């Protein structure tokens, strides 16, 4: 779910890798729809999920990732570390 959120933010919403890594996450693992309570401020989405009978579960942190992004057109390679946890993105 963590990786899917990052990919959706980049591909569908055109976010930079850094912004995609920092964006609030919504994950459904068949046991409720998890929202990161500290970061997720979209009350309209939260209310919409409840109206559609989703069991909304608030989580402090949802996942941790490290990412490397290859920009085909420019040849630039970017690395980004998730601010939610430990780790770093390195390349050589």
- Give the pLDDT confidence of 50-83 residue by residue, as tens digits: 999 989 888 877 678 999 888 888 988 888 998 8
Instruction: Provide the strand spans (E) within the chain.
Output: 26-28, 33-36, 56-59, 66-70, 77-81
Q: What letter does residue 74 receive in the DSSP assignment?
A: T
48: Cβ contacts below 8 Å, ≥ 6 apart:
none
Q: Name the one residue in this structure whose structure tokens are 């919403």.
A: 13
Looking at the whole model, is its pTM more than 0.95?
no
């Amino acid at each position: 779910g963590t990786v899917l959120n990052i990919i959706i933010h980049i591909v569908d919403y055109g976010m930079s890798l850094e912004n995609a890594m920092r964006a609030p996450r919504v994950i459904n693992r068949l046991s409720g729809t998890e929202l990161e309570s500290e970061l997720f401020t979209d009350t309209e989405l939260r209310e919409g999920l409840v109206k559609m009978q989703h069991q909304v579960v608030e989580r402090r942190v949802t996942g941790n990732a490290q990412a490397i992004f290859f920009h085909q057109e420019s040849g630039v390679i970017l690395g980004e570390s998730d601010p939610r946890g430990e780790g770093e993105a390195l390349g050589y």
